[in-house]
Structure 1
Amino acid sequence: MRNQIESITQSLSASPSFLYGTEKELNTLADDAVFPCVFMHPLQPIVLSPHVNGSVNNVFTLYLEFLYKTDFGRFTAENEDLVQQALQIANEFIIKAGKYRDADGRYFRLKAGEKAKCLPVYNKFDVNTTGVGLTITLNTMYFDVY
């Protein structure tokens, strides 16, 4: 899953870098990161949904942060332009995730009407970053039949 998400982020027009890890690991890795950057936190619980035809649908909940480096001492209102830019990257990510192809077809299925949650993130990590945090549910398209 991590590799697919990194592939999608590398295709974004803002050319963000990509980091993966726990909160503590990301805080350390952020010191040397190139910004803008997408931070992927470890996967939330994975829902396995068996079907009558013998296949299993895997549903992943991801938490990603789309972040820009900011200067210490900037007020929240001064970072709103970066929040808007990060929101645009998050929107592009959602569109590209729904179109992402691996082998013969699309890798993820985004269900119509299913909402992704996006919250502003201010002054996070030791390097001081601002952007948005995105929580999204992705359904894999490929099932295994046993």
Structure 2
Amino acid sequence: MRNQIETIVQSLTGSPTFAYGTQNELNTLADDKIFPCVFMYPLQPIEVSPQVNGSVDNTFTIYLEFLFKTDFGQFTADNETYVQQALQMANQFIVKASKYREGEGRYFRVKAGIKAKCLPVYNKFDVNTTGVGLTITLPTMYYDTF
């Protein structure tokens, strides 16, 4: 899953860099990253749904932060431009995730009304970053049949 998300992130406008890890790991990794950057946190619980045809559907809840480096001491109002740019990146991520193909078909089943929330993030990490955090549930299209 991490590899598919990273591939989608690398195709976004502005070529953001990508990092994956826990809160503490990302804080350390942020020191050496080029911004804008998308941080992916470990997967939330994965919903596993057995189907009648012997297959299993998997639904992943992911949390990503789309961040820009900001200066220390800037007020929240000074960072609104970064929040808007990060929101545009998050929106583009959702569109690209819905079209992402692996093999002969789409990888994610992204439909209208899918659950996604975006919250502004201010002054995060030691390097001081601002942007948005996106929580989205992505069901996969491919599953194993046993």
Q: Same fold (TM over 0.5)?
A: yes
- Give the structure-1-normalised TM-score: 0.99
Once residues 10 and 108 of structure 1 are traced to their aligned partners in structure 2, the CA distance between those partners, rounded to angstroms, is: 17
Cα deviation digits, residues 9-49 of structure 1 (max 9, x gap)? 00001110000000000000000000000000000000000
Aligned residues: 146
Once residues 58 and 112 of structure 1 are traced to their aligned partners in structure 2, the CA distance between those partners, rounded to angstroms, is: 18
Once residues 122 and 141 of structure 2 are traced to their aligned partners in structure 1, the CA distance between those partners, rounded to angstroms, is: 35
- The equivalent of 2:18 in structure 1 is 18
| Structure 1: stretches of 5+ with no match in the other structure | none
**Percent of residue pairs bearing the same amino acid type:** 76
Once residues 48 and 88 of structure 1 are traced to their aligned partners in structure 2, the CA distance between those partners, rounded to angstroms, is: 31
**Cα RMSD between the aligned structures?**
0.5
Once residues 72 and 17 of structure 2 are traced to their aligned partners in structure 1, the CA distance between those partners, rounded to angstroms, is: 22
- The equivalent of 2:106 in structure 1 is 106
- The equivalent of 1:33 in structure 2 is 33
Once the 2 structures are TM-superposed, how far is the Cα of residue 74 of structure 1 from its aligned partner? 0.1
- Give the structure-2-normalised TM-score: 0.99
Once residues 49 and 115 of structure 1 are traced to their aligned partners in structure 2, the CA distance between those partners, rounded to angstroms, is: 18
Once residues 7 and 29 of structure 1 are traced to their aligned partners in structure 2, the CA distance between those partners, rounded to angstroms, is: 19
The aligned amino acid for 2:133 is G
The aligned amino acid for 2:129 is T
Once the 2 structures are TM-superposed, how far is the Cα of residue 114 of structure 1 from its aligned partner? 1.8
Q: Does 1:119 align with 2:119?
A: yes
Once residues 138 and 29 of structure 1 are traced to their aligned partners in structure 2, the CA distance between those partners, rounded to angstroms, is: 26
* Structure 1 runs, 4 residues or longer, greater than 2 Å off: none
- 1:1-146 to 2 correspondences below 5 Å: 1-146=1-146
| Structure 2: stretches of 5+ with no match in the other structure | none
